[in-house]
């Protein structure tokens, strides 16, 4: 096809070629992240809960649910290899508003090396309230959670959900994705915690397709 400006068919052809090459050669950084992720899955399949890191489209859809004009910290739970963390920064959220939690030591180290200016903690989300108290973060406007509630022990998952519900305050939100068809926080648990839920988006481009849920306190 000819360029509408200068009609340079040769340049246009080489651009097409470059684009094709870009797509066909896997980025070594992405390959390394997938390798770390797969290694973590082999160490703890149920604790990781996915074979692949989330796609950038899922990460953007998750981050878009947070109203960054609401004051307070944004907490990421289960950061893995950092795809959501990257989307949070890409959305213009200042690093000092972010606290990133990852329980797996190797994944934590990968994250810490990747995001040297961020608070990246190797911690279990089951200790969320203590961790936030230690970091003086009483006001939280959003939680981005990739925690695999369908595969981690139910009592641990519910203990984390209790703390998430407590810390978000009146204007905050919990954003969670799941591969399942139902809300990963069950109806009785939502009632107990005084939360309302909304399935906001289905990201079919993710492998596997993922549903984005948003929870907030019942007004
Ligand atoms: C499904 S992966 C998602 C990783 C990444 N956020 C993504 O979307 O690609 C879930 C992550 O949660 C972490 N995780 C699981 N249980 C956790 C817990 N109790 N506290 C902190 N992180 C946890 C796992 O180690 C894993 O990295």
pLDDT tens digits, one per residue of 45-61: 999 999 999 999 999 99
Domain assignment present for residue 209? The answer is yes
Domain assignment present for residue 16? The answer is no
Residue nearest to atom 6 of ligand 1 (CA): 79
The whole-angstrom separation of Cα 68 and Cα 90 is 13
Q: Ligand 1, closest atom to CA 53?
A: 9
Ligand 1 close to Cβ of residue 109 (< 6 A) = no
- The count of domains in the chain is 1
Segment 104-140, tens digit of pLDDT: 999 999 999 999 999 999 999 999 999 999 988 789 9
Domain assignment present for residue 140? The answer is yes
- For 82, the 3-state DSSP assignment is coil
Evaluate if residue 23 carries a pLDDT over 80.
no
Phi-psi region of 35 (alpha: psi -120 to 50; beta: other; left: phi over 0): alpha
Cross-strand bridge partners of residue 74? 98, 142
Domain assignment present for residue 70? The answer is yes
Which residue matches tokens 């988006």? 201
- What's 70's domain CATH number? 3.40.50.150
Which residue matches tokens 């981005």? 144
The whole-angstrom separation of Cα 38 and Cα 50 is 9
Evaluate if residue 24 carries a pLDDT over 70.
no
Domain assignment present for residue 2? The answer is no
Domain assignment present for residue 122? The answer is yes
Domain assignment present for residue 14? The answer is no
Ligand 1 close to Cβ of residue 146 (< 6 A) = yes
- Percent of the chain with pLDDT strictly greater than 90: 80
Report the separation in Å between the CA atom of 46 and the middle of ligand 1, taken as the mean of its atom positions. Answer: 10
Output the pLDDT for position 137. Answer: 76
Ligand 1 close to Cβ of residue 83 (< 6 A) = yes
Q: Which of 36, 103, 108 to mutate to test the pocket of ligand 1 (most atoms within 8 A of CB)?
A: 103
Ligand 1 close to Cβ of residue 80 (< 6 A) = yes
What are the distances in angstroms from CA 93 to CA 62, 67, 73, 79, 198?
Answer: 14, 11, 10, 16, 24
Ligand 1 close to Cβ of residue 124 (< 6 A) = yes
What are the distances in angstroms from CA 146 to CA 48, 79, 149, 196, 215?
Answer: 9, 7, 9, 19, 14
Q: Which domain holds residue 75?
A: 45-217
């Amino acid at each position: 096809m000819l360029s509408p400006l200068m009609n340079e068919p040769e340049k246009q052809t080489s651009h097409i070629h470059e684009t094709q090459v870009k797509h066909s050669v896997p980025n070594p950084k992405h390959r390394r992240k997938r390798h770390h992720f797969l290694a973590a899955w082999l160490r703890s399949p149920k604790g990781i809960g996915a074979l692949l890191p989330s796609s950038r489209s899922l990460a953007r859809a998750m981050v878009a649910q947070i109203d960054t004009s609401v004051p307070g910290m944004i907490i990421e739970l289960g950061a893995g290899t950092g795809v959501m963390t990257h989307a949070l920064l890409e959305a213009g959220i200042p690093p000092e508003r972010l606290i990133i939690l990852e329980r797996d030591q190797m994944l934590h180290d990968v994250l810490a090396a990747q995001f040297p200016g961020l608070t990246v903690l190797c911690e279990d989300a089951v200790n969320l309230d203590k961790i936030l108290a230690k970091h003086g973060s009483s006001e939280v406007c959003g939680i981005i959670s990739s925690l695999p509630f369908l595969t981690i022990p139910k009592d641990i998952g519910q203990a984390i959900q209790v703390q998430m519900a407590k810390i978000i305050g009146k204007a905050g939100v919990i954003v969670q994705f799941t591969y399942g068809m139902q809300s990963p926080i069950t109806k009785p648990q939502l009632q107990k915690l005084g939360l309302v839920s909304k399935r906001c988006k289905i990201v079919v481009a993710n492998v596997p397709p993922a549903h984005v849920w948003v929870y907030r306190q019942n007004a």
